[in-house]
């Protein structure tokens, strides 16, 4: 049997494993509306998904008085926590993760969520025991800085050259490039295929089953 190309597969969370892009966009817009600030359109709000929360608010409304950003974060969390228990995984995610784990891959998450937010999501999705390690934006540098991937590989004793990052945004793919890891894009999340293409991912998947099939054959 040929040696696998990768040993560690790192997944983004929102828009890659969890079907949460639309909810996040609405919560960013609601936070701005609460504070009487300009409401970003869907494209602008979706583009910042994947960044740490403070970084996302600064990116989506870059010209604000800095005092507004912590208030934007607070209002966003208020709206998001009211509905995050209703969010669901994309079809095929539990089966894909179980299969990859059974094949002996190390599995990890690198996300712009907070630690509290990721733990809530993992608990709701019943995936707390699936991942070998996880890293959140409030624990280290936000994407696209390579720190999350560097820290995950160190924690698990893995090699970045044999690590692949799977995500739905340019932030994920740029982080992989910055870390010297492989990158795989998905087309069903926050960023468009046209936005992902210039970052030259190894593969882009149209669905979770499509991603699962490619990983089984090529990873």
Active site residues: 12, 14
Helical pair 170-179 and 147-156, crossing angle rounded to 10 deg: 60
Phi, psi (degrees; rounded to nearest 5) at 57: -65, -40
Query: Is the preceding omega at residue 61 within 30 degrees of 0, hence cis?
Result: no
CB contact at 8 A, 77 and 24? no
Q: What is the signed CA dihedral for 117, 119, 125, 129, rounded to 10 degrees?
A: 160
């Amino acid at each position: 049997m040929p040696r696998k190309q990768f040993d560690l597969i790192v997944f983004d969370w929102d828009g890659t494993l969890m079907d949460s892009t639309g909810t996040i966009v609405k919560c960013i817009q609601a936070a701005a509306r609460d504070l009487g600030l300009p409401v970003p359109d869907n494209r602008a709000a979706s583009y910042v998904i994947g960044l740490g929360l403070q970084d996302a608010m600064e990116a989506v409304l870059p010209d604000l008085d800095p005092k507004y950003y912590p208030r934007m974060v607070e209002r966003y969390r208020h709206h998001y926590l009211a509905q995050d228990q209703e969010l669901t995984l994309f079809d095929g995610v539990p089966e894909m993760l179980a299969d990859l784990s059974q094949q002996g891959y190390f599995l990890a998450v690198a996300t712009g969520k907070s630690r509290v937010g990721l733990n809530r999501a993992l608990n709701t999705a019943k995936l707390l025991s699936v991942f070998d390690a996880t890293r959140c934006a409030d624990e280290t540098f936000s994407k696209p800085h390579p720190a999350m991937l560097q820290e995950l590989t160190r924690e698990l004793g893995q090699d970045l050259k044999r690590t692949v990052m799977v995500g739905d945004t340019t932030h994920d793919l740029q982080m992989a490039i910055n870390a010297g890891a492989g990158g795989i894009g998905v087309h069903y999340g926050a960023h468009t295929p046209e936005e992902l293409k210039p970052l030259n991912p190894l593969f882009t998947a149209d669905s979770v089953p499509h991603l699962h099939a490619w990983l089984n054959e090529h990873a």
